Structure 1
Amino acid sequence: MRAGRWLVYLFLGLLLVLYILLGGAAHFYTDWLWFKSLGFQAVFWKTLLTKAGVRAVAGLAVFLFLFLNLWVTRRHFSRPLKVVAGEEQTLQLNPWFDVLSRRLLTLLFLFGSAAVAMIFSSLAGAKWLSWEQFLHPVGFGVQDPFFGKDLGFYLFSLPFYVFLYRFAFGVVLFTTLTVLLIYLLADPLKGYGWWRSPWVVRHLAFLGAVLFVLKAWGYYLHQFLIYYSERGAVFGPGYTDIHASLLAIRVLCFVALVMALVSLYGGIRGSFSYPAGAVAVLVAASFCLGVLYPAVVQKLVVEPNELERERPYIEKAIAFTRMAYGLDAIERRSFPAGKLLRPEDVAANRDAFANIRLWDWQPLKQTYSQLQEMRLYYQFHDIDIDRYRVNGEYRQVMVAARELNQEQLPQQAKTWVNRHLKYTHGYGIAMSPVNEVTPEGLPEFFFKDIPPQTTTDLKITRPEIYFGEVEAPYIIVGTRTGEFDYPRGDANVYTRYRGEGGVRLGGLGRRLMFALSFQDYRLLLSRDVTRDSRVLYYRDIGRRVRKIAPFLRYDHDPYVVLAGGRLFYLWDAYTTSHWFPYAEPHGEFNYIRNAVKVVVDAYTGEVRFYISDPGDPVVKSFARIFPSLFAPLEEMPRELKDHLRYPEDLFLVQAEMYAVYHMQDPQVFYNKEDKWVLPTELFGAEEVRMEPYYVITRLPGAKKPEFMLIMPFTPQNKKNMIAWLAARCDGENYGHLLVYEFPKQELVYGPMQVEARINQDAQISQQLTLWDQRGSRVIRGNLLIIPVKDALIYVEPLYLQAEQSRMPELRRVIVVHGDRIVMESTLAAALERLFAAGSPRSPAGTMEAAGRSVAELVGEANALYRRAEEALRTGDWAGYGKNLSALKEILTELEKRTRAADKVYK
């Protein structure tokens, strides 16, 4: 009875093992089909075979080395042990002899070595990319300052050498400790010490010598690692590292080699004291030369005159850090302080003012969700900022893809057929200009509703979204079940997938593989699925793209693009490394380039990788490893290329590094005299760090407006603005970085200073308090600092959100320029009030009437009259009186001019 039960357990266990093995094989097969469907089967096989090859070589080497050393210890178990009792000595068989035969011991050593080899081989397999980069290095054409090696050595060769050293040292050290433990266990009687056995001493001395040789190699490699030292005034080697640590490393390398010879000599003599003494000597030398000596040099030589000692090393650190982050390509320009715009400047820069962003993505996402999601199962994952040529005009827009989120389906609708056959895709986009608002405070739409409706010359011919940012399960298209396309009234419209994306399901064998891979038996039972049906899986672009190229770092924000009537996702990818010499790290890396642009077709799932920085050696190395993966940027369709934008993540990294590394004078850098920081602003009611923002404006001296990314800077511990950084995004200027610096002796308001001025404005603060007391919540949007001509204008939107609503409405726009602050219901009204009702040159809000044209005076009079009426409606008697006084002044001037004209006429 008991035997039968064990047979059942054995049978079930075998079935479980078989299921696991079949599941693994099925997953491998479906992954290969997926790569093949995208045209990347060469990438699949290259990655797989490289990992397998590295694991096989590393595992075999570890197995042979460990097993041979264990096999040598086998004779120690069968030899007699000498037992000392008083003055008598007797021989006694090792007690292990009766337990472990030589054959059993050999089997134990075989299995143990194999298990350890598998563990080490998995560690080696994870470094397959280092091996490939080692085989495919690319030179930078720049040499390091101390060893004269091309920088490519540090990014492609040194990482592999360091890994190989650590791997080999770990294997030998593990083997040595294992052998030592075996010798201890093999002599439980302790009557004859293992350290007195010449055979044991020779074995351990040989392993010790190997460790010493590896340690010498480690010291040799360590001299190159001084480029990542954090000891001195800057990241990288300083005076102490070059004049003390480097010398110590080279001496220790020689000492380690000598100690290897000492260890071998001790093995020949059969004396354990020699290898033990060698270890003690190396430890003492490491402490004295590697720790004490550099500390003394740092304390007595460097610190009393640190700046002069460190000056040449600070210069090198600045130069290499700027090179690593592309800061050396930033062009510096001066920007005047205190310049103010006149009404004619506004007219001349109408295109810039027409694209000032009033909608922030956080409140707009809520508004989009309320107005345009249409059904529970639709979702706007993100709001993206881009630019389009709309009806002949260059417009900045907010755009979002309407994706399908099956998790939002009603519970009763989450059937297998609905999740995998029927609800397969999202539909269309919502798009609105950044600055247009309806009278109700809602966005004006360029694209809205389902099917997409537009009043522009932009068209969508393929609105279906099968691949997007929302996590989605696998689906099967081309089945006997119609796919839900979009809702229409009380009914639904159905469609069939017409693309070539995904993998053809095929016959029973392939269908079984998919069922095992997806762990879904219903794939085998569904009658709606045919041989010609296609399986679409890995549909969220994050997982999809990373599965193809996991060695790239990706921007946090892929963005949807409408091009040629189709929807695509553009995603910026970076090549990074933490091995760039002399460069200060930023988090996990100290080198970064936006070397790749990824395009994903939202309908077919086709993925393309385009090299956007062909001068980057790291992407060149990847292109040599995977020659079929990348294409030159010139092959990207023109309509997609027009929507390339400088990525936010890279720009933010560069801005943070440039805030420190714009200081190129060693003394200024050492004292951090001119350190900048990224500013803060008020968003809602909280002070948050300002984010980079996209704008369309015209740079000083430029002939036409362009799309760019901007970030202001403020000095350390101060709130005024000191400079602003711009990344150009259009055409041949793409990627050109400019920093505009203000005169240090003049005040330019920073974001928080402008926020404080807004808070101190009596009329604005009174209005905000009033709104907050009427069941609404005021949301202060992002403060945008817009450069126009040679002046700055500050714009901040205000949103109102009712307590019972999740739909923020844009109700006011605050504009600050010079000494004036105005708040109006629209940007146009604010600009009219700002530039027609008074010059920014006058703190009182009016300017001298003389010297202006009659038309200007009439326009100002009308604006003052409207402001007086508004003050009267709100009960602002002080404002009402002030505006009437200003209006009287203008009317007086008009009367004088009329009388003068009459005299001339007469």
Structure 2
Amino acid sequence: MRFRSRIVLGVILGVIVFIIAALKWGIGLYTDWLWFKSLHYQRVFLTILLTEVGLRIAVGITFFVFFFANLLIVRKPVLEAINNRQSVQDGDVITFYRSPLADHVTPKRLTLVILAFSLLVSFFMSYSVTGDWLTLQKFLQATPFNETDPIFNNDISFYVFSLPFYRFLYGLFVSSVLITGFFAAVVYFLTDRTPGGFTKLFRTETARYHLSFLAAIYFIIKAWGYQLNEYLLLFSNQRTVFGPGYTDIHANLFGLKILVVISLITALAILVNIFLKKFRLVLYSIGFLIVSSIVLGGIYPAAIQNFIVKPNEFEKEKQYIEHNIALTKKAYRLEDIERKDFPAGGILKAEDIQNNRDVIDNIRLWDYRPLQQTYGQMQTMRLYYEFKNIDIDRYTVNGQYRQVMLAPRELNQSQLMVTAKTWVNQRLQYTHGYGVAMSAVNKVTSEGLPEFLIKDIPPVTKFPELQIKRPEIYFGESEDNYVIVNTKTQEFDHPKGEDNVYSTYEAKNGVKIGNFLNRLIFAFSFSDYKLLLASNITSDSQILFHRNIQDRVSRIAPFLKYDKDPYIVLSSGKLYWMWDAYTLSNMYPYSEPFGEGNNYIRNSVKVVVDAYTGEVTYYVSDSKDPIINTYSKIFPGVFLPLENMPADLYSHIRYPEDLFIIQAEKYALYHMNNPLVFYNKEDKWDLPTEIFGSDEQAMEPYYTITRLPGEKKPEYTLIMPFTPQNKKNMVAWMVARSDGENYGKTLVYEFPKQELVYGPMLIEARINQDTTISQQLALWDQRGSSIIRGNLLVIPIKDSLLYVEPLYLQAKQSKMPELRRVIVALGDQVVMEPTLDMALKRIFGAAGITSASEENPASENQVLSVSELIKQANSLYDAAQAKLKAGDWAGYGESIKQLKEVLNNLTVQATK
């Protein structure tokens, strides 16, 4: 009685757990539906859901029919084993008895048990295919690449879209047969009471027919698996290059074809054994297949590799190396890179600097890492604001094309005072960040701090084109707490002196939460009962969730890979996030993989997120990519043509850094087109290193505005130098273009092999070896400050290279680095001055260089306040004294001249 009570209690608890789990799943599904609907992506939600559910149902039903039918076959032996009289011999006494189960197990009840068990196993089988909906959809909506592999001559789409689906089916078939065979064998083994080992499974006719049939099916499927493995040879990674080599084609491929035949023969032998009843025939067949797989898959290829390939490896592998080079270039679009010569031996003159003033004035003197600390000290305004990242972009400001650095001021609720972390504050009042800070990349105040183009709260700027009409940031990169807007509680907008300014959310992109049912559902979904009890919520209230853009964007399109750095954009008075997305595949034949194993990449999508409304828009930036075209078929209307992007937003798209790094790493090896040179790695390049702070680290590609050789106007580019393998000089530099019709074009400028061009680390070494610079750095370190060496930028100008490295000074008790010096290297000259213009004047002579402030008196010094001019004068005086002590008479004279200019401007300001 107690045992039955426990069973009933267990069943009740199980039902309760099941109901709670089903309820949670259903509520989660409903809230997801409301969220997708609020963004007008309900079709995406339905496509994913229906494909997922449809696939699981199809797999579950198919497996159930197969599994249930097979278990019905074993029902008869089970009934016979239960109902037959059993005997026990004790000496001379033989006792016969019936199983106690015989009175309870009837054919109908046993059928019901088999049915329930089959349903249970089928559910788990269907659950195993969760997440495979995309494999099915890509197979159904495949787009041709119109390119073929060199071995089987199949279109690349077969490997990217079809082969993964066939492998998916193969895995299902094999697991279905093995699971069914296992349970059938267990039943036959347990119901046969006669002595004997494994062979007794085939003693009865039913068992022999049944298990032999399943085994034959398995080996037929196995034959198909060997055939699929033939195609997988195209992704071999065991030879000279990625992809099949001589041994794979002449040994492994041959072996797989033989194994297909042997596997089919084994299946036939098993079926024949049903009638011959010779179990050894089955064992011999299976044993022969196992031995053959070892010989053909291991011993024979090893013999071919060691005795035929290795003695003459290059000649045997030459054509396969050519395949690898050609297809890797296609997979990473390296074949589109234009190669040009760059003399690098030209001598720059002062007039060259003046003619490229628009390039000089956009050299980035601020490194994003120390600048983030400076922004945090100067522009957060309140503890609960933060600058999570510094972005680099370009804007036309006051008629000038300027590179800028900017950061959104996001809200971080964890920084609220402990007493302010109430439910009302965190859910209803502190709902959004506010505005951005923006500074010019090359401007610095006399205190060594950035010169802001946009600053403070509310945002202040003197440039009409940089006015922010909608500064609120509800969606961004910071924390992802849900908030409720349009409630009786006004939202904190921004601080204003001792008081606060409040506002109300004006968009309609949240989920309506005013009715009781929705409040109940979201209270359960977020495990927050206060949401149900809050009296501040009205019929117009909206709940905003999934506000972190990384979560928000990837929920809509989880099949895309996203760049590590979304960036904020100010366009037409509003703030937007722009984010590059990639289509990837690990099934591009012969292509060398990167990262986690993918060997194909395209920057096919530009994502735009409205920082106020949270609206997400996907634009196709590479319409030639078959993968994004397939996704467009799966989700019609989701991916818009890039031409639909507003013109002002379009002016801010840029070549993505993650893709550029991958291409640069591949090009460092795959610029070698000659198979012999490639085989010997004779001309392998490396990505350079530089010093940041005081440590050597990998050099990052950098955005800059420059004028490419032969071009008439400057443009926004992304640059990475190359150095030879195990050397520090520079052999080439790669550039990706981002502006207008040139967007997406990449070039590599190669230096003459007989010329010595300094690489970044050679310049760093020359800086360290300069006695004047090293003495000054040591002096600063002794005064309780730390030196931060920023990015070393290699700037191409005309037919020469200009190297620029900023130096920041940070007091040990402070977290606000100040830009104090700029190091410039040109040819054999290395100079360090307080400003870039001063360094250029020292190299080229003061008479030949006109600074931006001299060309436009309304800028720089003359817009500084009297106090700022005084500080600048003091800084220049200190610099002059330091040069005097070092015996640098030319530098001393130049500093005194700059000091005179500042004093003249100070006189003008004082008389106003």
Q: Please tell me whether the aligned partners of residues 574 and 592 of structure 1 are also in contact (alpha carbons under 8 angstroms).
A: yes
Name the CA distance, whole Å, in 1 between partners of 2:158 and 2:215.
Answer: 30
The equivalences for 1:507-906 within 5 A come to 507-588=515-596, 589-836=598-845, 873-874=881-882, 879-880=887-888
Query: Could you say which residue in structure 1 is the equivalent of 2:441?
Result: 434
1:240, distance to aligned residue in structure 2 (A): 1.1
Name the CA distance, whole Å, in 1 between partners of 2:202 and 2:730.
Answer: 73
Q: Please tell me whether the aligned partners of residues 134 and 160 of structure 1 are also in contact (alpha carbons under 8 angstroms).
A: yes
Aligned counterpart in structure 2 of residue 209 of structure 1, from 209, 216, 222: 216
Residue ranges of structure 1 left out of the alignment (5+ in a row):
841-865, 888-906
- SS of the residue corresponding to residue 555 of structure 2 reads helix
User: Are 1:198 and 2:202 matched, yes or no?
Assistant: no
How many equivalent pairs are there?
862
Name the CA distance, whole Å, in 1 between partners of 2:56 and 2:451.
Answer: 59
Q: Please tell me whether the aligned partners of residues 479 and 533 of structure 1 are also in contact (alpha carbons under 8 angstroms).
A: yes
User: Are 1:480 and 2:496 matched, yes or no?
Assistant: no
Name the CA distance, whole Å, in 2 between partners of 1:253 and 1:92.
Answer: 52
1:85, distance to aligned residue in structure 2 (A): 9.3
Name the CA distance, whole Å, in 2 between partners of 1:258 and 1:783.
Answer: 67
Task: Identify if the C-alpha distance between structure 1 residues 839 and 465 changes in structure 2 by more than 3 Å, giving closer, same or farther.
Answer: closer
Query: Could you say which residue in structure 2 is the equivalent of 1:407?
Result: 414
Q: Please tell me whether the aligned partners of residues 834 and 879 of structure 2 are also in contact (alpha carbons under 8 angstroms).
A: no
- SS of the residue corresponding to residue 376 of structure 1 reads coil
Task: Identify if the C-alpha distance between structure 1 residues 643 and 555 changes in structure 2 by more than 3 Å, giving closer, same or farther.
Answer: same
Query: Could you say which residue in structure 2 is the equivalent of 1:182?
Result: 187
Matched AA of 2:204: S
Aligned counterpart in structure 2 of residue 152 of structure 1, from 154, 157, 170: 157
Query: Could you say which residue in structure 2 is the equivalent of 1:890?
Result: none
- SS of the residue corresponding to residue 694 of structure 1 reads strand
Query: Could you say which residue in structure 2 is the equivalent of 1:863?
Result: none
- SS of the residue corresponding to residue 640 of structure 1 reads helix
Query: Could you say which residue in structure 1 is the equivalent of 2:57?
Result: 56
Query: Could you say which residue in structure 2 is the equivalent of 1:368?
Result: 375
Query: In the TM superposition, what whole-angstrom CA distance separates every residue of 1:557-608 from its partner, at most 9, and x where no partner exists?
Result: 0000000100000000000000111111112310000000000001111100
1:393, distance to aligned residue in structure 2 (A): 0.3
Q: Please tell me whether the aligned partners of residues 79 and 93 of structure 1 are also in contact (alpha carbons under 8 angstroms).
A: no
Query: In the TM superposition, what whole-angstrom CA distance separates every residue of 1:170-217 from its partner, at most 9, and x where no partner exists?
Result: 221222223222322333553693332232122111111011100110
Aligned counterpart in structure 2 of residue 137 of structure 1, from 132, 142, 158: 142
Aligned counterpart in structure 1 of residue 472 of structure 2, from 450, 464, 467: 464
1:828, distance to aligned residue in structure 2 (A): 1.1
User: Are 1:30 and 2:38 matched, yes or no?
Assistant: no
1:95, distance to aligned residue in structure 2 (A): 5.6
Q: Please tell me whether the aligned partners of residues 83 and 191 of structure 1 are also in contact (alpha carbons under 8 angstroms).
A: no
Task: Identify if the C-alpha distance between structure 1 residues 336 and 410 changes in structure 2 by more than 3 Å, giving closer, same or farther.
Answer: same
Task: Identify if the C-alpha distance between structure 1 residues 274 and 93 changes in structure 2 by more than 3 Å, giving closer, same or farther.
Answer: farther
1:114, distance to aligned residue in structure 2 (A): 2.3
Task: Identify if the C-alpha distance between structure 1 residues 10 and 537 changes in structure 2 by more than 3 Å, giving closer, same or farther.
Answer: same
1:506, distance to aligned residue in structure 2 (A): 3.6
1:60, distance to aligned residue in structure 2 (A): 1.3
Name the CA distance, whole Å, in 1 between partners of 2:652 and 2:18.
Answer: 51
Task: Identify if the C-alpha distance between structure 1 residues 68 and 90 changes in structure 2 by more than 3 Å, giving closer, same or farther.
Answer: farther
1:338, distance to aligned residue in structure 2 (A): 2.6
Task: Identify if the C-alpha distance between structure 1 residues 839 and 262 changes in structure 2 by more than 3 Å, giving closer, same or farther.
Answer: farther
Name the CA distance, whole Å, in 2 between partners of 1:771 and 1:726.
Answer: 36
The equivalences for 1:357-396 within 5 A come to 357-396=364-403
Pick which of 69-78 and 290-299 moved more. 69-78
1:23, distance to aligned residue in structure 2 (A): 3.0
1:746, distance to aligned residue in structure 2 (A): 1.6
Query: Could you say which residue in structure 1 is the equivalent of 2:313?
Result: 306
Query: Could you say which residue in structure 2 is the equivalent of 1:45?
Result: 46
Q: Please tell me whether the aligned partners of residues 880 and 891 of structure 2 are also in contact (alpha carbons under 8 angstroms).
A: no
1:885, distance to aligned residue in structure 2 (A): 12
Matched AA of 2:676: Q
Residue ranges of structure 2 left out of the alignment (5+ in a row):
850-873, 896-912
Name the CA distance, whole Å, in 2 between partners of 1:303 and 1:9.
Answer: 67
1:107, distance to aligned residue in structure 2 (A): 3.9
1:105, distance to aligned residue in structure 2 (A): 4.0
1:115, distance to aligned residue in structure 2 (A): 2.6
Aligned counterpart in structure 1 of residue 361 of structure 2, from 354, 357, 362: 354
Name the CA distance, whole Å, in 2 between partners of 1:261 and 1:668.
Answer: 51
Aligned counterpart in structure 1 of residue 125 of structure 2, from 120, 138, 151: 120
- SS of the residue corresponding to residue 160 of structure 1 reads helix
The equivalences for 1:244-259 within 5 A come to 244-259=251-266
Task: Identify if the C-alpha distance between structure 1 residues 883 and 132 changes in structure 2 by more than 3 Å, giving closer, same or farther.
Answer: closer
Name the CA distance, whole Å, in 2 between partners of 1:168 and 1:198.
Answer: 26
Matched AA of 1:270: K
1:290, distance to aligned residue in structure 2 (A): 1.9
Matched AA of 2:337: I
Identity %: 54
The equivalences for 1:77-96 within 5 A come to 77-79=78-80
Matched AA of 1:133: K
Matched AA of 2:783: R
Name the CA distance, whole Å, in 1 between partners of 2:224 and 2:764.
Answer: 59
Task: Identify if the C-alpha distance between structure 1 residues 816 and 416 changes in structure 2 by more than 3 Å, giving closer, same or farther.
Answer: same
Name the CA distance, whole Å, in 2 between partners of 1:4 and 1:255.
Answer: 57
- SS of the residue corresponding to residue 711 of structure 1 reads strand
1:869, distance to aligned residue in structure 2 (A): 8.7
1:325, distance to aligned residue in structure 2 (A): 0.6
Task: Identify if the C-alpha distance between structure 1 residues 507 and 665 changes in structure 2 by more than 3 Å, giving closer, same or farther.
Answer: same
Q: Please tell me whether the aligned partners of residues 87 and 97 of structure 2 are also in contact (alpha carbons under 8 angstroms).
A: no
Query: In the TM superposition, what whole-angstrom CA distance separates every residue of 1:796-854 from its partner, at most 9, and x where no partner exists?
Result: 111111111111111111001100000011111111111117999xxxxxxxxxxxxxx
Name the CA distance, whole Å, in 2 between partners of 1:314 and 1:394.
Answer: 46
Query: Could you say which residue in structure 2 is the equivalent of 1:222?
Result: 229
The equivalences for 1:322-341 within 5 A come to 322-341=329-348
1:266, distance to aligned residue in structure 2 (A): 1.1
Q: Please tell me whether the aligned partners of residues 482 and 494 of structure 1 are also in contact (alpha carbons under 8 angstroms).
A: yes
Query: In the TM superposition, what whole-angstrom CA distance separates every residue of 1:136-189 from its partner, at most 9, and x where no partner exists?
Result: 010111111121211111111111001111221122122222322232233355
Matched AA of 1:535: I
Query: In the TM superposition, what whole-angstrom CA distance separates every residue of 1:732-779 from its partner, at most 9, and x where no partner exists?
Result: 000000001111222111111110000000010011111011110101
Task: Identify if the C-alpha distance between structure 1 residues 607 and 871 changes in structure 2 by more than 3 Å, giving closer, same or farther.
Answer: closer
- SS of the residue corresponding to residue 382 of structure 1 reads coil
Q: Please tell me whether the aligned partners of residues 89 and 95 of structure 2 are also in contact (alpha carbons under 8 angstroms).
A: no
Query: Could you say which residue in structure 2 is the equivalent of 1:240?
Result: 247
Aligned counterpart in structure 2 of residue 424 of structure 1, from 409, 412, 431: 431
Name the CA distance, whole Å, in 2 between partners of 1:90 and 1:216.
Answer: 52
Pick which of 696-705 and 283-292 moved more. 283-292
Q: Please tell me whether the aligned partners of residues 881 and 892 of structure 2 are also in contact (alpha carbons under 8 angstroms).
A: no
1:870, distance to aligned residue in structure 2 (A): 7.3
Matched AA of 2:497: G
1:411, distance to aligned residue in structure 2 (A): 1.3
- SS of the residue corresponding to residue 453 of structure 1 reads coil
- SS of the residue corresponding to residue 527 of structure 1 reads coil
Task: Identify if the C-alpha distance between structure 1 residues 186 and 820 changes in structure 2 by more than 3 Å, giving closer, same or farther.
Answer: same
